[in-house]
Structures are given as C-alpha cells and as structure tokens.
C-alpha cells in the first residue's frame, strides 16, 4: 500500500483518532504535551508518567452535570488517564465533573473584569472546561449540542489585543490529535480557519450555528457583532 493510501486511511475523527493519540503518548507519557508552543512550561501528558485511568464502573455511568453524555473521544481518553484534565480543574475533590459557565471560567483565569465582558454568552456556554494550550490565550471545551461525531467544540479565548472568542477545533478528538502533532494542518492564519477545512469544516460550521448563530468567531466590542443581538434576544444573556 502506498504512503498516499495509508494517509487517506488514517483515522480522522472520534475514538480511532483518539486511540492514535494514546498510542503516541504511551511511548513517553511524561513528555510535554506542548513542546513547541510552550517549551518553557512543563505540561506533561501524564502526571508522573504513570497513567491514572478513570475507574471503569465510574466511567460507564459518567455524564456531565447537565445530563449530556461524554463525547466518545473524551471517554476514550479518560479510560487511559485523568491527570491531564485534573490539573486543569475538570473535577471536584470527590471526582465529579466541575464545569464552569464561560464568564466564570474567564474570570477565574483572566480576572473578574474580563469575565463580565462574556456574561452574555454564559447561558449558552454554561458547561465549560479549561484545556492546556496557549500562553496569553486559552483553550476551552464547551459542552453544547454535540456534532455528528458526538463531539463538543473547543474554543480559543484571546485577550491579548481585543477580547476574542472563536471556534478552534470541532472536538476534543481533533484538539488532542493536533496537540500531539498528528495532523498536518499547516501554519494557521487564524484560530478558526478549520471552518474551511475539507475534513473538519462541516463539523466546525455545525458548532458555529449552534453556539454563535453561525459565526466562527466574535471580537470585542461584542454589541457590534451581528450575532450579539440574536443571542441576547434568545435569552442567553443570563449567566445562570
């Protein structure tokens, strides 16, 4: 089989893609998950290099507080290790999921002032989790309506210039694979450019419709964004 055919046959979504990431991580669990982006920060894939999987009986029954199911890729990852997500405040002391509304997560990470600026979206993005990645920016998984793969979107938050929120990945599966260096996505010209990608664009556009009224990204001042009036009119301005 040619290398071209092998590349075409490579997994591109969901559990098969996540399992490929796990195989890479198993070779060196203590290696940094962000060696190129943040070489000066130790962000090991697995704390101490020894995987700590979620107990099978717990994982089998696990759902988010809203009742939404775990995505297939997240379930596959947790069956391998919890430590990466534990270090990013995904769980309570007793191991339950601990999502935060978007504005509260931003306030915790960036300061109360910035959280207030995103309160109008907190009703729609009410179950958010921090992911490793970014330096001045952040990566946030939001539990919303899942896409056709059963996956939830990953957003980029950037406050370096003007406050910005944009869809970056269509799911935890693609986020993991790109972080592990398995996807040849080229050099990005913007956070949300996967919305035009041949493989992932459809999933990105679905999340854009569900989360941001069809927009791939929004930037301050938000009340000048066409999506602002639509989402506030739908009653998503409450932080809940």
How open is the CA angle 144-132-46, to the nearest 5 degrees? 110
The pLDDT score that the predictor gives to residue 238 is: 44
The pLDDT score that the predictor gives to residue 3 is: 43
Tokens 């959280």 map to which residue? 115
Name the percent of the chain lying above pLDDT 90: 74
Which band of pLDDT confidence, cut at 50, 70 and 90, is reported for residue 4?
very low
Interval 39-43 mean pLDDT = 63
- Taking the model in full, what pTM does it have? 0.90
Please state, rounded to an integer, the average pLDDT across all residues of the chain: 89
The pLDDT score that the predictor gives to residue 130 is: 96
Which band of pLDDT confidence, cut at 50, 70 and 90, is reported for residue 240?
very low
Give the sheet arrangement for strand 138-142, strand by strand. 128-131, 138-142, 154-158, 164-169, 217-219
């Amino acid at each position: 089989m040619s290398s071209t055919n092998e590349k075409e046959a490579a997994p591109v979504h969901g559990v098969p893609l996540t399992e490929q990431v796990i195989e890479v991580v198993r070779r060196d669990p203590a290696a940094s998950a962000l060696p190129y982006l943040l070489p000066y920060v130790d962000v090991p894939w697995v704390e101490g290099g020894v995987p700590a999987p979620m107990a099978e009986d717990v994982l089998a029954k696990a759902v988010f507080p809203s009742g939404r199911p775990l995505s297939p890729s997240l379930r596959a990852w947790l069956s391998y290790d919890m430590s990466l997500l534990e270090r990013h405040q995904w769980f309570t002391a007793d191991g339950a999921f601990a999502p935060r509304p978007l504005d509260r997560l931003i306030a915790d990470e960036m300061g109360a002032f910035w959280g207030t600026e995103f309160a109008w979206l907190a009703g729609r993005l009410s179950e958010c989790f921090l992911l490793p990645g970014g330096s001045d920016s952040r990566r946030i998984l939001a539990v919303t309506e899942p896409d056709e793969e059963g996956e939830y979107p990953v957003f980029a938050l950037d406050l370096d210039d003007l406050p910005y929120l944009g869809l970056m990945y269509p799911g935890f599966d693609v986020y993991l694979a790109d972080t592990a260096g398995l996807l040849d996505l080229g050099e990005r010209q913007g956070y949300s450019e996967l919305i035009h990608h041949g493989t992932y664009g459809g999933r990105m556009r679905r999340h854009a419709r569900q989360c941001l009224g069809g927009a791939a990204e929004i930037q301050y001042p938000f009340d000048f964004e066409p999506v602002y009036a639509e989402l506030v009119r739908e009653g998503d301005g409450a932080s809940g």
